[in-house]
Amino acid sequence: MTTEHDTQLRDAVTKEFAAAGYPPKLIESVLARQEQLKRDGEKTMPWVKIHRKDLLPDTLIAYKLPWEWDEDDSNYLIIKEWIGEDFQQELFGHTRRLRDRKLREIGNKMNDYVDRRDYHSRRRTRLNRRLDYDYTGTRDIVYYRNLANGQT
């Protein structure tokens, strides 16, 4: 797909290089390489590489954007499509809202659990377990080792 402008440029370059004394074979190889670079430039699209602390994969899935993890550094996401600055800010905002929602859910779940330190157990101490109480409120001490020997 060469246009009229491309053919004019090709002719001008050929004349200039021939006037400078370059052989026709070298001129053709330079022009062929230039055409190849031009075709390669049309194929490649710039991708966006973003740190995962800035953007969640859930956001990319929600917006149906093609992405993958960076093979060199797993802390980065590669979006396989060029996105503008305004759209990036929208994606970052979506990620912030998702993270805020998750934090609120975690906070609500944490409030559902009872902190055991707030409720102290009233276990009887060893001494109190050895003591027998009568109805008058006085303590009659009964030692268990003496009961085992038959003594009170």
User: 117: helix, coil or strand?
Assistant: helix
Instruction: For residue 134, name the pLDDT band (cuts at 50, 70, 90).
Output: very low
pLDDT digits (tens, 9 = 90+) for 96-113: 999 999 888 887 776 666
Q: Check whether 138 has a pLDDT greater than 90.
A: no
Measuring CA to CA, how many Å separate 87 from each of 28, 70, 76, 98?
A: 44, 21, 18, 17
Instruction: For residue 39, name the pLDDT band (cuts at 50, 70, 90).
Output: confident
Instruction: With 0.85 as the threshold, say if the pTM is over it.
Output: no
Q: What is the mean pLDDT of the chain?
A: 78
Q: How far apart are the first and last CA of the chain?
A: 115
Question: How far is Cα 10 from Cα 14, in angstroms, rounded to an integer?
Answer: 6
Q: Check whether 124 has a pLDDT greater than 70.
A: no
Instruction: Name the nearest CA neighbour of 84 among 48, 57, 49.
Output: 48
pLDDT digits (tens, 9 = 90+) for 62-87: 999 999 999 999 899 999 988 889 99
Q: Check whether 26 has a pLDDT greater than 80.
A: yes
Any residues with CB less than 8 A from the CB of 67 and at least 6 apart, and which?
Answer: 57, 60, 77, 78, 79, 80
Domain ranges of the chain: 4-43, 48-112
User: 78: helix, coil or strand?
Assistant: strand
Cβ contact 88:48 at 8 Å = yes
What's the pLDDT score for residue 4? 84
Question: How far is Cα 148 from Cα 144, in angstroms, rounded to an integer?
Answer: 6
